[in-house]
Every structure is written in structure tokens, then in C-alpha cells.
Amino acid sequence: MRIGIIGLPATGKSTLFDLLTQSGGSSPSHRSATEPNVAVVKVPDRRLDHLVSLFKPKKITPVTIEFIDFVALTRGAGKGEGLGSHFLSQMRQVDALLHVLRDFADPNVAHAEETGDAARDAALVNTELLLADLDVVEKRIARLELDLKKIKKDESIRELDLLKRCHAWLTEEKPIRDLPISPEEEKLLRGFTLLTARPLLLLLNIGEEKLGAPNPTLERLRGAHAGKGTAVSQLCIKVEWEISQLSPEDAEVFRQDLGLTVGGFDKVLRACFDLLGLITFYTREGGEETRAWTIPASATALKAAGTIHSDLERGFIRAEVVNFADLEACGSMAAVRKKGLHRVEGRDYRMRDGDIVIIRFNV
């Protein structure tokens, strides 16, 4: 899972990246003012910890998320202007975009647009992404029209029709993620890696004075960005960073004093999972390895097998399934079996969050 962190200058996005990196037990691959910073973060998982205590494996493999902190975007990036424009192609390779928006006042940190307006900034960056996608679509349309003058191909005609609809949609300043298309058309568009087709998390970086108070900007953004594959949340990144520097005991007291029930690190990770519609399942290989995996919430046992290894998907026979909640309640696998909660499922079984599976397959 790859999450690209984007935003205008001086929004706090790099501080968020540092917070996620430190809390996730990782370190950036490098630090640079002109290149994206990359870190692979381990996802904390209470269920995995519990399974490890039960199974005592030699190897433990948690889910990881790769965060990429891209160079700040500015006006004109969608037309190839500014440093950030050079990394638009890299942004196309992520699974989702996390757009950090400034919603705090600090006279010592100048705003890129002189005055603060998170809703305006969200629209500004969205426009740059739209323009970048328009450029991709227009170039492909021109190429297809040229090819179709030489030879008519049904697949090219269908692609051209789809891209013209995309062009019209983008021209109306609408992201591709909101365009009504069929599953077949969605598959065709994946090859273009359009930025506005990516799931988008808008994260308001609020000032400390706004903690616990109603935020009209948050509701305004939720109203303006209520489409498919978009979520809006808020976080006081400065406070979360300060808390991350404390001992666990002091951090807990500080959180209680501020009325914060969930840590910023956990909140961002949960928002990313929800945005992408992911669930977690687990496998265990005797005493060798206990591992966590992520799959789409609608995935079948067959697709879960393929996530582990393509050989398991090709030779799939059945899945032996126990849900974590049942295992935790019973206390052991033996007790689960005694209560009849150990199940054998076929390839079309829809996986549940927390399932622990053993895939039986033909070699």
C-alpha cells in the first residue's frame, strides 16, 4: 500500500510524514528539499500481537504502508510549472493521495497563498491535478484519432469514446473518481494512472485552539468533497508531534488533558484503510511465521489466496477459517474447534476482517 502525501508549501505535510515515520518505527530513505521522502511504516496491530503470543512463531510480519512525502505543489504544476510538477508521474504510482490542508494561524510561517482558506487550497490543488490529467487524456485522444484514420479497431473506438467522456468530465472540473463508468471501463482507465482517479484523503491540519471545538471548515470540505473515494478528516499535527516526543505514560496523560481519544498516527492509518476499503486477514505457517495481510473488503477466499501467492490461487481447494473474535473469546484453537467455530469455506467465501486462514491447494 503506497500513500502519497501532497499539499501546498507550509501546510505541515512533512511534519506529518515525520510523525508517521517515527511512530511507525521507520526512518526516511533520505531527506531532501528537491526529492520525495519515502518511508515504510509498520501498522500496529493488537490482533497480530495476540496471535503471536498464542502461536509463538519464529517470524512476525505485520502490514506495512509506504508513505511518500512529495515536494510541495504550487500554482501551475498541472501545466508543468514549478518543482512539484516534475513528480506528478511518481504521484500516479501511489494507491491513494493524502492532501494536507493548512487550517492553523502562525504569523511566523507565511502562507503560500498569503491568506488562509483550506477550502480554496483544496480546490487549487484539485485544479492542478485535473490539468495534469487533462494533458494525459488529450495526448491519448490525439494519438487514437490519428490511428483510427489509418485503421478502424473496435477497441480503439471504445477507448476513444471513454476518453472523450473523461475529457468532458475533467473540463467541468470534476475528478475522474466520480465519473460513472462500468467495471470494464474502470479497468481500461487504470493504465493511464490518472491522478484524479486516485482515492483522496483531505486532512485538515488544525491549530491547537480548535481541538474539541466544532470546525465549520471541516463541514464545508465534507459538503464540497462528498464523492466516491474521498474522505475528510482533521488533526493537529503540531500537538501530535509534541506528544510523540513524550514517554508513553506522559503521552497518555497529555491526551486525556486535551480530550484526545485516538492518537494521530492511529487515526491517519485508520483513515487510509477506510478510504481504500481494506480489511486485514492473517495466516500462520506452523511455528514459522504469523503474518497480517490486507485485501479489499469484498475479496473472496480465492483472491485472499492469490494475495499470499499466485500458486495458492491457481491450485485453490478450500480455505480453513477461524475469525479472530472467536479465537480471542475461546482462548485457543482447540477450544475453537470444540465449539464448532472452525469453518471450511470455498473459493467464493467473502473474507471478513480478522479472519485467520489456512489455504489448502494442489501444487
At residue 82, the pLDDT reads 66
Determine the Cα–Cα distance for residues 281 and 170; give it in Å rounded to an integer.
37
All three cell numbers of 97: 493521495
Angle CA(40)–CA(99)–CA(81) in degrees, nearest 5? 100
Would you say 193 and 215 are in contact if contact means Cβ atoms under 8 Å apart? no
At residue 167, the pLDDT reads 97
- In eight-state DSSP terms, residue 362 is -
At residue 83, the pLDDT reads 60
Mean pLDDT, range 33-42, rounded to an integer: 84
Dihedral (CA of 201, 206, 212, 215) sign: negative
Residue with cell 485516538: 262
Give the bridge partners for 283, in sequence order. 291, 357
CATH code linked to domain 298-361: 3.10.20.30
Name the phi and psi angles at 26, rounded to 5. -130, 180
CATH code linked to domain 126-196: 1.10.150.300
Q: Is 3.40.50.300 the CATH classification of the domain at 2-44+61-110+198-275? A: yes
Query: Average pLDDT, whole number, for the chain?
Result: 90
Domain ranges for the chain, please list them: 2-44+61-110+198-275, 126-196, 298-361
**CA torsion angle 337 339 344 350 (round to 10):** -120
Instruction: Say which residue, 201 or 261, is predicted with more confidence.
Output: 201
At residue 88, the pLDDT reads 84
Would you say 304 and 278 are in contact if contact means Cβ atoms under 8 Å apart? no
Three-state DSSP state, 332? coil
Three-state DSSP state, 98? strand
Angle CA(223)–CA(5)–CA(176) in degrees, nearest 5? 50
Determine the Cα–Cα distance for residues 181 and 157; give it in Å rounded to an integer.
16
Q: Is the pLDDT of residue 77 over 80?
A: no
Cα distances (Å, whole numbers) of residue 345 to 2, 47, 51, 340:
31, 22, 21, 14
Band the pLDDT of 255: cuts 50, 70, 90. Answer: confident
Q: Exposure of 146 by Cβ count < 10 A (0-12 exposed, 13-18 middle, 19+ buried)? A: exposed
Q: Is the pLDDT of residue 165 over 70?
A: yes
Q: What does pTM read for this prediction? A: 0.89
Lowest mean pLDDT among 17-26, 78-87, 251-260: 78-87
- What are the pLDDT digits (tens) for 78-122? 777 666 667 788 899 999 999 999 999 888 887 877 788 999 999
Q: What's the number of CA atoms in the CB half-sphere (13 Å) around residue 329?
A: 10
Cα distances (Å, whole numbers) of residue 226 to 151, 173, 177, 196, 222:
42, 15, 11, 14, 6
Cα distances (Å, whole numbers) of residue 112 to 57, 72, 203:
51, 10, 17
Determine the Cα–Cα distance for residues 49 and 283; give it in Å rounded to an integer.
13
